[in-house]
Amino acid sequence: MAVRRTNKGPSVSRAKASAPSTSDERRPEASKLYSTKNDLPESTRREVIELLNARLADCIDLESQAKQAHWNVKGPSFIALHELFDQIHEAVDEYADLIAERVVQLGGIAEGTVGVVAQRTTLVDYPLVLTKGSEHVAALSDALAEFGRVVRVGIEEMTDLKDADSADVLTEISRGIDKWLWFVEAHQQGE
């Protein structure tokens, strides 16, 4: 059962307790495919949309992790890391747009709500207790590396499905993620 906080303390939300547990059950319209003249076969588009929505969840999670680091970093490298983490957040926001817009181009529904992201993300939860720059560098570099890995898997999946355009979108994102990982890891090197 879900717990809802009120000004009187925690209480159990009966509506949440009886609601279906998966996003597909809560959103039957999510499997709807809109008409398009895109010449990819419908079965391919459905599979690509599902895979891209999975990466969209990871991307939105990564975006929020970068913002978490941006807000909470402390220490001698504060300003450099604060600005770097904000730049990463902005870039990852653009990557999320690329993925979501590709889903919609294929006739799908981009599924980027907080609830869906929380259910689907494959990234490790970002530790909320970090403050030191080195801690945020370690945690964010882990998240960037994992997202980069799943994006490269996605490139292979899109190639297997013969969707060169989606593979290209993910390739662009992969190059960007590798650049940001390099920038973050540079703060760990040479110490």
State the Cα–Cα distance between residues 43 and 161, nearest whole angstrom: 10
Q: How many domains does the chain have?
A: 1
Helix (H) or strand (E) holding 12: strand 9-12
Q: Is residue 141 part of a domain?
A: yes
Domain with 145 in it: 42-185
Q: Quickly list H helices, 106-161.
A: 114-120, 133-160
Q: Is residue 49 part of a domain?
A: yes
State the Cα–Cα distance between residues 145 and 154, nearest whole angstrom: 14
Q: Is residue 53 part of a domain?
A: yes
CATH number at residue 85: 1.20.1260.10
Please give the chain's pLDDT, 191 residues, in tens. 333 323 333 333 323 333 334 444 555 455 789 999 999 999 999 999 999 999 999 999 999 999 999 999 999 999 999 999 999 999 999 999 999 999 999 999 999 999 999 999 999 999 999 999 999 999 999 999 999 999 999 999 999 999 999 999 999 999 999 999 999 999 998 76
| Two tokens, residue 147 | 């997202």
Helix (H) or strand (E) holding 52: helix 42-72
Are 66 and 92 in contact by the 8 Å Cβ rule? The answer is yes
**What per-residue confidence (pLDDT) applies to 191?**
61
**78-105 and 133-160 helices, crossing angle to 10°:** 20
pTM of this structure: 0.84
Q: Is residue 17 part of a domain?
A: no
| Two tokens, residue 76 | 């001698």
Are 140 and 188 in contact by the 8 Å Cβ rule? The answer is no
Q: Is residue 54 part of a domain?
A: yes
Q: Is residue 52 part of a domain?
A: yes
**What per-residue confidence (pLDDT) applies to 104?**
97
State the Cα–Cα distance between residues 82 and 86, nearest whole angstrom: 6
Which residues pair with residue 5 across a beta bridge?
Answer: 10
Q: Is residue 158 part of a domain?
A: yes
Q: Is residue 33 part of a domain?
A: no
Per the listing, tokens 């919609």 go with 104
State the Cα–Cα distance between residues 57 and 15, nearest whole angstrom: 25
State the Cα–Cα distance between residues 101 and 94, nearest whole angstrom: 10
**What per-residue confidence (pLDDT) applies to 4?**
31
**What per-residue confidence (pLDDT) applies to 123?**
98
Are 99 and 25 in contact by the 8 Å Cβ rule? The answer is no
Which residues pair with residue 9 across a beta bridge?
Answer: 6
